[in-house]
């Protein structure tokens, strides 16, 4: 085997790698703005679901303040995360100025399809709505085998870890709300 037999295929592979890398970099340059715009639009839509009374949002200290058409604060949106069965569960929680949960959105997860992935279903997420956060000292609790009371949600069958993860993320939002706004009487 001589040097020419070894260098020629190596040089061809090198040129192919350079061309493919250049094509990927070009594709990234062409699409990164569009991807960022789509992500921002999806985040705005999620905030509108979490806090439906708001018409616009302002970012403030790591969360969003929801404003009505007159510019008055109607609530707050917090993004939090917790460890689930398959990995991190990212959640967006809306809380009104009256101190009630207005909506919960599961932004991303790696939970088991058909079990933990059911956390995305409205029937599960709606359990958090109207939970009063002002008087929840221990946060929302997950219950199994009993009807939930105020401050409790029913665990998903076969997905208690995911139920606890979503609830933990919602409770982090409640703590952030209580720390930032409850002392102000919820007026932000």
CA trace torsion 151, 154, 92, 29 (10° rounding)? 170
- From residue 158, how far is each of 67, 111, 164 by CA, in Å? 39, 12, 12
Q: Which residues of the chain have pLDDT under 70?
A: 135-136, 183-188
pLDDT digits (tens, 9 = 90+) for 40-67: 888 899 999 999 999 999 999 899 999 9
| pTM given for the model | 0.77
Measured between alpha carbons, how far is 36 from 134 in angstroms, rounded to an integer? 36
pLDDT at position 139 is 86
Non-local CB neighbours of 138 within 8 Å, separated by 6+ positions: 151
Measured between alpha carbons, how far is 184 from 38 in angstroms, rounded to an integer? 35
pLDDT at position 184 is 54
DSSP 55-81: SEEEEETTEEEEE-TTS-EEEEEEEEE
pLDDT at position 183 is 61
Measured between alpha carbons, how far is 158 from 151 in angstroms, rounded to an integer? 21
């Amino acid at each position: 085997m001589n040097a020419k037999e070894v260098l020629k295929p190596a040089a061809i592979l090198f040129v192919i790698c350079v061309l493919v890398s250049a094509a990927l970099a070009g594709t990234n340059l062409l699409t990164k703005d569009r991807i960022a715009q789509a992500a921002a639009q999806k985040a705005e839509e999620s905030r509108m679901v979490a806090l439906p009374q708001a018409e616009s949002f302002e970012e403030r200290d790591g969360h969003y303040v929801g404003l009505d058409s007159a510019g008055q604060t109607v609530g707050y949106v917090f993004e939090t995360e917790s460890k689930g069965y398959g990995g991190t569960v990212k959640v967006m929680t809306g809380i009104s100025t009256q101190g009630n949960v207005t909506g919960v959105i599961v932004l991303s997860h790696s939970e088991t399809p058909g079990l933990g992935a059911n956390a995305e279903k409205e029937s599960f997420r709606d359990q958090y709505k109207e939970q009063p956060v002002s008087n929840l000292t221990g946060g929302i609790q997950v219950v199994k085998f009993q009807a939930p009371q105020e401050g409790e949600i029913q665990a998903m069958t076969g997905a208690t870890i995911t139920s606890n993860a979503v609830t933990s993320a919602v409770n982090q939002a409640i703590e952030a709300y209580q720390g930032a706004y409850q002392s102000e009487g919820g007026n932000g």
